[in-house]
A = this chain, B = another copy of it.
Amino acid sequence: MATTLRIVEVDKLKTACSTCSLQELCLPAGLSAVELQSVDELIERRRPVKRGDYLFRSGAALHSLYAIRSGFIKSCVLHEDGREQVAGFHMMGDLMGLDAIGTNQHLCDAVALEDSEVCEIPLKDLEGLSRNIPSLQQHFHRIMSREIARDYGVMLLLGSMRAEERLAAFLLNLSQRFSARGYSATEFHLRMTREEIGSYLGLKLETVSRTLSHFQAQGLIAVQNKHLRILSLDNLRELVSQHSCRS
């Protein structure tokens, strides 16, 4: 009994935003110590999600938003006819479930690409607390807005870029996000399959594979399986901004 209690306490400690290294990236960015404490109490529980498991499914009722504490999770939009497309790859510090607020129903599946851990944040509580903490409210709005901005970027990518540009943009985006989280900007593990990359970028897996090979041949990157090293960030950037065709 005492042991159980202790475990729970350790869990709570681990969950606390106040001691979380992702503070500055995550929901409570920019809050005071006192405010942070209130946010701590928001977090209902920490929840592990095993590789391949669903964090939530399309159609399920919205209970909570989820802040990713560790791991890697993809979200997939589903077309009524069974077609499915990866809508995003999410990593630690990202907030998931924002698309569900409008209808109170999740519109996409969230699947862990590696063993992950998320903090569960009941939406009602978050809304309540943000009424009392203006900077929390503002930051929440900023997070939603940034998701919209991200989507606009993806729309631009899908609507007007050629395969090489899409892939280069994708790699640069991953690089930038890993870097923002304190990891290498030039060397990382791709947690998703070529097919998932393709789905996200509106390409077939063969095209993704071919284009990666092509990049490698040009000396832009070194890929081996899921391990990726960017050899020239600059050249990749050049690739993205040169619009060769599809004006």
**Contact partners of A108 in chain B: CB under 8 A:** 152
**Within 8 Å CB of A211, what residues of B?**
none
Q: Give the docked Cα–Cα distance between A137 and B159 (Å).
A: 33
Q: Interface centre among A108, A130, A141, A148, by most B CB within 10 Å?
A: A148
Q: Which of A15-23, A47-55, A77-85, A184-192 contacts B (4 or more CB under 8 A)?
A: A77-85
Band of interface residues on A: 35 or more
Provided the pairs A87-B155, A159-B199, A241-B81 are in contact, do residues A138 and B127 lie with their beta carbons within 8 angstroms? yes
Instruction: Provide the residues of chain B in CB contact with A148, threshold 8 Å.
Output: 98-99, 102, 144, 147-148, 151
Chain A binding surface, main DSSP class: helix
Question: From residue A57, how far is it (CB to closest CB) to chain B in Å?
Answer: 15
Tell me the A residues contacting B by CB distance below 8 Å. 77, 79-83, 85, 87, 98-103, 107-108, 127, 130-132, 134, 137-138, 141-149, 151-156, 158-160, 199-202, 241-243, 247
